[in-house]
Structure 1
């Protein structure tokens, strides 16, 4: 699962979670696989995923067109599920 912080000019301000069903729909719609996110992810991809998740979870708050979404919303990936390694004690 991926968490995205999304804020919009319309007052929307929340974190949304891309669940497996959202990732599956994203992969089918774009041809971009979740495994491709391991190395790096472009902002274009982040916005495409954010738009899809928003259309599925908050359709009343989301413009139908990706271009309109890009012009009026900010999308930020939130830290992953893995906690950083604190390193050896006393280091």
Structure 2
């Protein structure tokens, strides 16, 4: 650790974890994983409601997971130049609207 004073224009070190941001990101990650994994547990209830077999409903869940997988890397590359906070906010709002 250096005893030299910080250079001009540098921010002082943070004094702890940003709990509100950490809580927001944790909640978003939990919700995203829950949205992707929850239908697998509900297949026995979804199949009769849709009038198809559990296997066919399973293809729907697989299709959603596959689309998420295939879109992740290209979207990350395409959106990397945008401000992260605004991008995360817009993405989470869109996610909430689609799941409402």
Whether TM exceeds 0.5 here: the answer is: no
Which structure has greater helix proportion? 2
Greater relative contact order (Cα < 8 A, sep 6+): 1
TM-score (norm 2): 0.20
Which structure has greater strand proportion? 1
TM-score (norm 1): 0.21
Q: Which structure has the larger Rg? A: 2
